[in-house]
Chain A
Amino acid sequence: MIKKILVANRSEIACRIIRSCKEMGIKTVAVYSEADSKALHTQLADESICIGPPPALQSYLNMEGVIKAAKDTGCDAIHPGYGFLAENSDFNKKVRDAGLIFIGPEPEPMKLLGSKVMSRVTMIDAGIPVIPGMKSSSKDINEFEKTANEMGFPVLIKASAGGGGKGMRVVKKIEELKTAVESAMRESQSAFGSDEVYLEKYIESPRHVEFQVAADNFGNVVYLFERECSIQRRHQKIIEETPSPIMDAELQKKMGETAVKVIKTANYNNLGTVEFLVDKDKNFYFLEVNARIQVEHPITEMTTGIDLVKLQVQIASGEKLPFKQKDLKQTGHAIECRIYAEDPDNNFMPSSGKILFLKVPMSPGVRYDSGIYQGAEIPVFYDPVLAKLIVWAPTREEARNKMLIALKENVILGVKTSIGFMAKCLEHEEFIKGNTFTDFIAQNMKIGTEYNSGILNKALIGAALFDNQKKKTTNNNVSVSSEMSSPWQTIGYWEICTGSTK
């Protein structure tokens, strides 16, 4: 059994992994960049090691630095989280070569699935349905132009190593193609260390439905049902739910079994997610496998009762899956909202700064996976995720309502967030009806928030009260210090209560 894990990540996912490790009695080591010396994950772990300057390439993406930190602290395993090095098969191999356990799949299936192009070809051969497009990535702009012209616009440029919308561009006409390909290549290089991009047909108004799968080292594979992640901005998910509003038992079984087939075809082990696009006629197309824990994994945990991080650790330790497909059951409905530091009124531009005030929502069935605290600095160098708000309730409508209340109770001051915007998404009649497609925001949401004057006036009152109170407090402090008084003199009459007889 694993005794000590280095968590090669930051923010909420590092904190979430550390907490599960603690429950399992496993020691943890956090790594951090110079910009993160006071970050929450460094506080939760048993030990914390600085691995370099703020830019991710010199710290969180520095493979040798991470592995050295694990060896120096006597770890026997590394958990990569998501993003950064999580799906880098070279890192995976280097970790194993250093005599450590990598908590994730073997390097070979990771490499195969990590390349969207290689995995497409493999899945086509295995009879899995895929979206039409380029067979492989290319540096030749003519090949992009040729394929795009053959299939017709719009087309989608994707990073082979990508995820989370990074290095992804929708192109509507040929004139925009060259700039978009170049820009996608640079963004992919910066985010994943690889500039390989390719092109496929852009399917309009699909749903994004993915299946959580788990595979042990003995060939046992199960699916832990779906997550629908259609509410996206910049091709990045912001609201996820399970079950999917379109799901029925027949489709669930068909897609779940296809997901298992994908995993078996790739000879994949540990936790993974098989992503599909579902069109209006409920046809589904294999997109890719995410060979890591997903940002949205908590909604699966809430509806299955399974701790997926613990499951990852158990599988990596060489244990068999503790359940079979027939033992798994989906109960109730869960929704997750990703709380990013970003400005929904300004094209979701990332916002950095300091968390001046934080109030976390609390209620039965509400979970808050957070990487922040009051006083925390949000650096400009990384993905601006602050926290994830997750709710569970017996039905979709109850979960939606619970989420709305929880969002409104979640106060974060000091950086701009998408909290208000997500509440408006959840209140929209198309969301209520379950008409959730990947273009939901473009089709339904007005960018630029409007307020009635009453609530703005109330905000102005709040600012004036705060300013007034601050001036009062400042004046008081001056008078106290000038009199050199001690709190013991100003506290007045007091006594120690002993032996209350009530």
Chain B
Amino acid sequence: MQLKFKDNEYELKLEKQNDNQAIVINNEKFEFSSILIDTNIFSVLFDGSKTNVYVAEDDSRFYVNIDGNNFTLEKVKAEEKSFGEEDKNLGDKQIVKPPMPGSIVKVLVSKGQKVEEGTGLIIIEAMKMETTMYSSISGIITEVNATAGEQVDSDKVLLTVEKEKAE
């Protein structure tokens, strides 16, 4: 199984180790022992400390809680491994998507406009809170795909900013 946490990917494999259990995380092996308490609850002895580990999942993530620390671990699907870079902002291009589903309050820029790094691009409202999204690069707005009042999902590309090509 492959998971992602804060830009790092982790390849995981459980193993039996005599009476104990073990996990291989990115080629490094760790021993631990665990008891299944209930579907979402494991008592895990690892690194000299025993704590309950609470786990749940949805289609795209595992949610884990240990002693007040919450981890959201993204599932890395097989087809994404080779195309995983597609959505990244590659330094000379910024693809702006909403941080969460919401409605567009105002589009602050138009196609063809030159923007500086830090320029406000678009204002989105979700859960009664307005958020302004800013340009992370200096460049030109090459695409505007949003209008005020529109309801948008978090995977919609709203705007694209591209660096001007050096002549």
Q: Check B54–A383 contact: CB distance below 8 A.
A: no
Given the complex of chains A and B, what is the CA–CA distance between A409 and B65 in angstroms?
10
Q: Check B128–A190 contact: CB distance below 8 A.
A: yes
Report the tally of A-B residue pairs with Cβ distances under 8 A. Answer: 166
Given A466-B40, A469-B39, also A352-B5 (CB < 8 A) = no
Q: Check A349–B131 contact: CB distance below 8 A.
A: yes
A417 at the interface (CB under 8 A from B): yes
Q: Check B14–A413 contact: CB distance below 8 A.
A: no
Q: Contacts of A414 on B, CB cut-off 8 Å?
A: 56, 58, 63
B68 at the interface (CB under 8 A from A): yes
Given the complex of chains A and B, what is the CA–CA distance between A166 and B70 in angstroms?
28
Residue of A nearest to B65 (CB): A411
Q: Contacts of A346 on B, CB cut-off 8 Å?
A: 99
Q: Check B128–A456 contact: CB distance below 8 A.
A: no
Given the complex of chains A and B, what is the CA–CA distance between A419 and B130 in angstroms?
23
A443 at the interface (CB under 8 A from B): no
Residue of A nearest to B3 (CB): A463
Given the complex of chains A and B, what is the CA–CA distance between A179 and B130 in angstroms?
13
B69 at the interface (CB under 8 A from A): yes
Residue of B nearest to A470 (CB): B57
Q: Contacts of B5 on A, CB cut-off 8 Å?
A: 456, 459
A420 at the interface (CB under 8 A from B): yes
Which one of A281-289, A354-362, A392-400 contacts B?
Answer: A354-362
Which one of B34, B65, B73 has the greatest number of beta carbons of chain A within 10 Å?
A: B65
Given the complex of chains A and B, what is the CA–CA distance between A461 and B62 in angstroms?
11
A121 at the interface (CB under 8 A from B): no
Given the complex of chains A and B, what is the CA–CA distance between A456 and B69 in angstroms?
9
Q: B122-150: which have CB < 8 Å to A?
A: 123, 125-132
Q: Contacts of B128 on A, CB cut-off 8 Å?
A: 56, 166, 187, 190-191, 382-383
Q: Check B127–A350 contact: CB distance below 8 A.
A: yes
Q: Contacts of B129 on A, CB cut-off 8 Å?
A: 166, 187, 234, 350
Of the residues B36, B72, B101, contact of A416 by C-beta under 8 Å: B72
Of the residues B10, B42, B101, contact of A460 by C-beta under 8 Å: B10
Given the complex of chains A and B, what is the CA–CA distance between A167 and B48 in angstroms?
49
The B interface, classified by DSSP as helix, strand, loop or mixed, is: strand
Q: Check A462–B23 contact: CB distance below 8 A.
A: no
B47 at the interface (CB under 8 A from A): yes
Which one of A351, A352, A380, A463 has the greatest number of beta carbons of chain B within 10 Å?
A: A463
B105 at the interface (CB under 8 A from A): yes
Of the residues A354, A356, A417, contact of B70 by C-beta under 8 Å: A417
Q: Check A459–B64 contact: CB distance below 8 A.
A: yes
- A431 CB to closest chain B CB, in angstroms? 16
Residue of A nearest to B5 (CB): A456
Residue of B nearest to A186 (CB): B105
Q: B1-36: which have CB < 8 Å to A?
A: 1, 3, 5, 10, 12-14, 23, 25, 30, 32, 34, 36
Q: Check A384–B127 contact: CB distance below 8 A.
A: yes
Of the residues A353, A412, A459, contact of B71 by C-beta under 8 Å: A459
Given the complex of chains A and B, what is the CA–CA distance between A352 and B64 in angstroms?
17
Q: Check B12–A413 contact: CB distance below 8 A.
A: no
Given the complex of chains A and B, what is the CA–CA distance between A4 and B1 in angstroms?
55
Given the complex of chains A and B, what is the CA–CA distance between A251 and B126 in angstroms?
41
Q: Check A461–B99 contact: CB distance below 8 A.
A: no
Q: Check B70–A380 contact: CB distance below 8 A.
A: no
- How big is the B interface, by class? 35 or more
Q: Check A458–B46 contact: CB distance below 8 A.
A: yes
Q: Check B130–A187 contact: CB distance below 8 A.
A: yes
Of the residues A356, A419, A458, contact of B44 by C-beta under 8 Å: A458
Of the residues A356, A380, A420, contact of B102 by C-beta under 8 Å: A380
Residue of B nearest to A350 (CB): B127
B51 at the interface (CB under 8 A from A): yes
Given the complex of chains A and B, what is the CA–CA distance between A467 and B12 in angstroms?
11
Residue of B nearest to A450 (CB): B6
Given the complex of chains A and B, what is the CA–CA distance between A420 and B66 in angstroms?
10
B67 at the interface (CB under 8 A from A): yes
Residue of A nearest to B105 (CB): A186
Q: Check A458–B66 contact: CB distance below 8 A.
A: yes
B53 at the interface (CB under 8 A from A): yes
Of the residues B34, B36, B40, B42, contact of A413 by C-beta under 8 Å: B40
A183 at the interface (CB under 8 A from B): yes
Given A352-B101, A468-B14, also A461-B46 (CB < 8 A) = yes
Q: Check A420–B36 contact: CB distance below 8 A.
A: no
- B24 CB to closest chain A CB, in angstroms? 10
B55 at the interface (CB under 8 A from A): yes
Q: Contacts of A463 on B, CB cut-off 8 Å?
A: 1, 3, 12, 55, 57, 62, 64, 73
Given the complex of chains A and B, what is the CA–CA distance between A413 and B46 in angstroms?
22
Given the complex of chains A and B, what is the CA–CA distance between A309 and B131 in angstroms?
34
Given the complex of chains A and B, what is the CA–CA distance between A56 and B100 in angstroms?
18
Q: Check A408–B68 contact: CB distance below 8 A.
A: yes
Given the complex of chains A and B, what is the CA–CA distance between A154 and B122 in angstroms?
25
Q: Check A411–B1 contact: CB distance below 8 A.
A: no
Residue of A nearest to B30 (CB): A457
Q: Contacts of B123 on A, CB cut-off 8 Å?
A: 183
Residue of A nearest to B127 (CB): A350
Q: What is the interface of chain B, defined by CB distance below 8 A to chain A? A: 1, 3, 5, 10, 12-14, 23, 25, 30, 32, 34, 36, 39-40, 42, 44, 46-47, 51, 53-58, 62-73, 99-102, 105-106, 120, 123, 125-132
Apart from the given pairs A352-B126, A463-B12, A463-B57, 18 other A-B contacts in the complex at a CB distance below 8 Å: A183-B130, A183-B132, A349-B131, A356-B56, A356-B58, A382-B127, A413-B54, A416-B70, A420-B68, A423-B68, A458-B47, A460-B3, A461-B34, A462-B55, A464-B13, A464-B14, A464-B23, A467-B1
Q: 8 closest A-B pairs (Cβ-Cβ)?
A: A408-B68, A356-B56, A462-B53, A350-B127, A466-B55, A413-B63, A413-B56, A463-B62
24 A–B pairs (Cβ distance < 8 Å), ordered by A: A187-B128, A234-B129, A347-B131, A349-B100, A350-B100, A351-B100, A357-B40, A411-B65, A413-B54, A419-B70, A420-B69, A454-B47, A455-B66, A457-B25, A458-B32, A459-B71, A460-B23, A462-B53, A464-B13, A465-B42, A465-B44, A466-B42, A466-B62, A470-B57
